[in-house]
Structure formats: C-alpha cells, structure tokens
Amino acid sequence: MKTKQSTKAGAPASFVSNNGDDLKSVSSQTLVDAYEKLRDQSEPSNGSRTYPKLCVLHGTAFEREKDRREVREWASRCPAEMQKWYEEARHQSCLWWLKNHLVAKRALSSCIACGVCTSQCPAAQYYGEYNPRAIVDAVLSEDEDQLVALLKSDLLWYCGQCGSCKPMCPRENNLMGLISSLRFLAQLKGYHLYSVRGRQQYAMRHLCGGNLWNRACTLYFRNPVAANHPDFGPRYAQYHSQAECQMVRVGASPDRPGQFGGRKLPPETLTEFRSCVAGGGTLALWNQLEKSASEDAEKKGLSIDEYHDRVNHEG
C-alpha cells in the first residue's frame, strides 16, 4: 500500500475538503481507493429515515480530481475503437466531421431558408441574435473558416434541444442533431473555449459526467441544492433540506438499493456502465475537456477549481 507523499493533503477522509491543487501530489490509486471507501456507506441500522453521516462526495474538487485521473488512466489502459476515432477526428477538418460523424452526416439534406424553424424556436425568440438558419447556412456553405467561426461563437450554444424545429422542416432536416454534433466537435477541437457559453461545458462535464461516472445517472438528488436554485423559492429549499426522508416516504430509494431514481447501484452495474460509456469513445471528449480547461485556467492564472467555478457563473 502506498503512503501518500503530499504535505498539503490531509488524511484520506479529509480529501473531501481539499481542492484540486492540494490533491495533485496524491497518487491516483490512493485517490480512487479513498473515494470508493467513503462512498459505500452501510444502511442505517437504527431504522431511522436518513443516513446520519453520509459523506458528501458529489460536486467536490476531490471527486473531480479523482475523476480526472481515473478517466485518464482508463482511457490509456484500454482505448476503445471509438475513442481512437474521436482522438483522430479532432485533427481532421470540420468538413470531414460533417461527412463522417454518425449524426452529422445524416442531419441535413438541403434548406430552402423558409424560416419555419426559426419562427417557433424558443431560443431564437429569447436570444435576439440567434437564428437556427444561420447554422444551416454555415454548414451548407462548406466553408471551413465559416464553420470554425461558428464553432467559436456563442451562437452554437443557445439551442435548447427541444426539437420544435424537427416536425416542421419541409426538407426533413434534423437541426437538433446537427447542433448537438457540432457542439461535440467544438469541444474536441477546443473551440468552445472562445465563447462564454462554450466554456460552460467544463462545468457540464463534471456535473453530468461526474454523476454518470460515479452514479450512472445524469442527475443526483443531492445536486440541486437550494442555494444554487434561488429561482425555485423557499418551499423547494424546505423540501430539499429533507429530500431523503421525503423520498423514502413515497417509496423511492435515495442512495439505497431499490428501484427508480436516486438508488444505489451495485458495483458490477457501475463497472458495466462505465465500460459502455468508455466503449463509445466519450473518454476522448472528457480528456480533451480537461486538457483544454487546464490550459485555459493556466492562461487566466486560475487554479482548476477556480476555473470550474468561474465557468459555472459566467454569462
């Protein structure tokens, strides 16, 4: 068993309160082991409704650093076919992507610029400068510079993926899928760093990606704390403060084995799930996001955690 070398990080149990910089010197294996140990709490034996001392791991710098390392190692240990594909794809042109990415290649056939998509796009109504036709135009122009400019702009990130455009298009274009595909490309190439809304993807990676990697679920019931959701009002704050009891009450299983959302998964399930995620090449994206975030953070003179917080609040 390795002894930790750091002078900054405390005992493993206190990793939770450390930030990314403190943990840099701790070995990956120690991080992962500590995390796993802290994660698996046994069920309350006294029959009370709540776990009295459940360790808060989600949303911490500790979890992020652990994820960073674990994902990097997993990716290099057994790189999946699709992972390699994505790693190579980022060196190709945008035009290449449009012709080869599974979603992009079938998304667009032709456009008559009739405007039916824009006329009822909620994002076009809210963001005055946004127009989905502009995205179609850039793609159909087949002009690499124009595409790069699009990928670097905020315009790419306004779409809410509602799909209101999809049943309307007389040429049966899939604008929703096209935008999703382009967003993926923007992150692979690091173009997302050029726009405020693009940089937010780093926060998305850890919010959703962290939940996926550690809990096989995109949203975790402990995530939306009232402080982060002042728009939800005091009733929500009250509910969330007792979320666990309320969930048990209606028959859900928060952090317990059982059915439905919030449940704890057996380790075998999580491993299978991680393998599926890795098998599809997502780790290439996550590694790339980490790399570009750390470069951007350094450029701006911020620690990685400060950077993470900043992109979560900018805009």
Q: Around Cβ 226, how many Cβ atoms within 10 Å?
A: 16
- Cβ atoms of 150 and 185 closer than 8 Å: no
Q: Which is nearer to another protein, 169 or 193 (CB)?
A: 169
- Cβ atoms of 170 and 112 closer than 8 Å: yes
- Cβ atoms of 74 and 278 closer than 8 Å: yes
Closest approach, Cβ 281 to another protein, in A, equals 5
Closest approach, Cβ 176 to another protein, in A, equals 7
Which residue blocks in the chain are alpha helix, DSSP H? Answer: 20-23, 28-39, 61-77, 81-89, 94-100, 116-119, 122-126, 132-141, 144-152, 175-189, 196-199, 201-204, 210-215, 233-241, 243-250, 267-279, 282-299, 304-313
Closest approach, Cβ 237 to another protein, in A, equals 10
Closest approach, Cβ 265 to another protein, in A, equals 6
3-state SS class at 127: coil
Closest approach, Cβ 68 to another protein, in A, equals 14
Closest approach, Cβ 22 to another protein, in A, equals 23
Could you tell me the end-to-end alpha-carbon distance of the chain, in angstroms, rounded to an integer? 46
Q: Which is nearer to another protein, 235 or 301 (CB)?
A: 235
Closest approach, Cβ 64 to another protein, in A, equals 14
- Cβ atoms of 130 and 191 closer than 8 Å: no
Closest approach, Cβ 141 to another protein, in A, equals 17
Q: Which is nearer to another protein, 10 or 163 (CB)?
A: 163
Tokens encoding 133: 């036709």
- For 258, half-sphere exposure in the C-beta direction (CA atoms, 13 angstrom radius) is 14
Q: Which is nearer to another protein, 4 or 194 (CB)?
A: 194
Handedness of CA 227, 229, 235, 237 (dihedral sign): negative
Residues 90, 251: Cα–Cα separation, whole Å: 46
